[in-house]
Amino acid sequence: MIVEGLMQPSEALRYFGQVARHFRRRSQLTQMELGEKLGYVGALVGQVEAATRTPTDGYTLRLEEVLDAGGLLAAALPMLEAERRRAESRPVYVFVVEGSVEELSGPMAATLLRYLAKGASAAPADRQADG
Q: Which residue has the higher pLDDT, 20 or 114?
A: 20
Number of domains in the chain: 2
Question: Is-contact 12 36, C-beta < 8 A?
Answer: no
Same-domain status, 36 and 70? yes
Closest CA to 64 of 54, 52, 74: 74
pTM for the predicted model, two decimal places:
0.63
**Which tens digit of pLDDT belongs to each residue from 61-113?**
999 999 999 999 999 999 999 988 887 776 555 556 666 656 777 777 777 67
**Which tens digit of pLDDT belongs to each residue from 21-38?**
999 999 999 999 999 999
The residue type found at 109 is A
Residue 2 lies in a domain: no
Domain that holds residue 105: 91-124
pLDDT of residue 57: 95
Same-domain status, 103 and 81? no
pLDDT of residue 119: 61
Maximum Cα–Cα distance for the chain, whole Å?
57
Same-domain status, 26 and 74? yes
Residue 28: partners with Cβ closer than 8 Å, 6 or more residues away: none
Averaged over 49-57, what is the pLDDT?
93
Angle of CA points 18, 82, 95, to nearest 5°: 95
pLDDT of residue 7: 54
